[in-house]
Amino acid sequence: MKKYLATILFLFIVSLKAGTEEERTVHYFGLVRTAMVSAPAFSGQTFSVLHAQGGFYGNVTPDLLFRIYLDFSNFGSLEERYDTTGNLVGVDVDMPLGLLDAYAAWTFNDNFTIQAGQFKIPYSNSNLRSPANLPFIYRPVTRYATPHSRDIGIKLIWKPAAGSIVVESGVFNGSGLNASDTDKSLNMVGRLEWNISDLHCMSVNLYGGRQDGINMKMMDIGYVLTGDYLEAGAEYALRYDDTIGQQAGYFYISKSFIRSDKKIHKLTPAFRIEWNSFRQDTYTLTGGLTTYLSGQDHSMIRINYGRSYGSGDDFLAILFQVSF
């Protein structure tokens, strides 16, 4: 683990030192997502901060990019220590590492980019999307049939000069976010994304290696349709843990209605159906409505209601989100 962190630090220092002041650019971004959740629905409520994230990225030369992304929603804990007589002798502070992304990317010609550090692995349409851009409060059930969303490793991106495909492949620790590499083996991932047209996009994802001490092979196929304020998509995920097969999938659709010159300028209803073969909630239906506030897309209120058939559980969630 130390050598990988040292590599990240080295790349970051190189990023800061490289280039001239005229070439360097830095941009800041972040989001705050707070929610009230009632599960089962209408039986009691809890408030939580789902995400409080921020970071910066930029170019230190035209072909060298860096990104640092932090999560502040895990506030850590305090533990008091007492002696045998009951007197307070100290307080232990546990502040878990909130590092999400720390990487550098170098584009060495018009077709190839190499990226190293900690970042999202190139796998699954839903995992690669930011929670700020998802049409629902929670990620779909396919997240249980995919690898860790973030890992430490290196990947190569190939974009042909003439064509509509993007190919990404890489090797990773397989231990996940801010975790030590326990088995000393590397996991492999590959992704092919095909932009069929301005409206249609498909992806095929493959993953293999050891994760959490288990041999895994995974495949994911995704499809997205966008256009005229309409978005729809589907995904199928297959995961083998040693010899045990698990599969999951979903379909969703959303449509935005624009209200020009209004404080609530956009209304977006959405619907999703999910299914899987390894959880008690075999089928889940989720419906919701998103309202965008103040005439722009940086603040919104979202309401979701979901019901699982099989377990019979349901939930109601109300989200307030601000992004910048």
* Residue found under tokens 């599969």: 247
- Overall size of the chain counted in residues: 324
Q: What is the mean pLDDT of residues 99-122?
A: 93
Q: Assess whether pLDDT exceeds 50 at residue 298.
A: yes
CATH number for the domain harbouring residue 53: 2.40.160.10
DSSP assignments along 25-64, one per residue: EEEEEEEEEEEEEESSTTS--EEEEEEEEEEEEEEEETTE
What percent of the chain clears pLDDT 90, i.e. is strictly above it?
48
3-state secondary structure of 308: strand
Please tell me whether the peptide bond between 147 and the residue prior to it is cis, using omega within 30 degrees of 0. Answer: no
Q: Please, what sign has the CA dihedral across residues 138, 54, 12, 25?
A: positive
pLDDT category of residue 179 using cuts at 50, 70 and 90: confident
H or E segment and range at residue 175: none
Asked if pLDDT for residue 18 goes beyond 60, the answer is no
Tens digits of residue pLDDT in 77-87? 555 565 556 56
Q: Has residue 44 got a pLDDT over 90?
A: no
Q: How high is the pLDDT of residue 145?
A: 86
Q: Is the pLDDT of residue 91 over 80?
A: no
Mean pLDDT over 130-158 rounds to 90
Closest among 3, 1, 33, 4 to 290, alpha carbons compared: 33
Q: What is the pLDDT of residues 258-285, one digit of tens each?
A: 887 777 888 999 999 999 987 766 899 9
> Is residue 24 predicted with pLDDT exceeding 80?
no
Which helix H or strand E contains 15, and what residues bound it? helix 2-17
Which residues 6+ apart lie within 8 Å of 14 measured at CB?
A: 104
Q: Is 299 exposed, middle or buried (0-12, 13-18, 19+ CB in 10 A)?
A: middle
Span 88-103, average pLDDT: 67
How far is Cα 302 from Cα 320, in angstroms, rounded to an integer? Answer: 7
User: Among all chains, which residue has been given the structure tokens 């039986």?
Assistant: 43
Q: Residue 88's pLDDT is what?
A: 57
Reading the block at residue 268, the tokens are 């977006």
Cα 11 to Cα 26, 40, 63, 70, 185, distances in angstroms: 16, 47, 14, 17, 23
Quick one: which of 191, 147, 153, 146 has its CA closest to 172? 153
The pLDDT, as a whole number, for residue 2 is 45
Kindly state the average pLDDT of the residues 42-68: 88
**Mean pLDDT across the chain, nearest whole number?**
84
List the domain range (segments joined by +) for residue 208.
2-323
Mean pLDDT of 187-195: 96
Most confident of 72-76, 203-207, 226-230, 313-317: 203-207
Residue 152 pLDDT more than 80?
yes
> Given this model, what pLDDT does residue 316 score?
92
Task: Provide the number of structural domains found in the chain.
Answer: 1
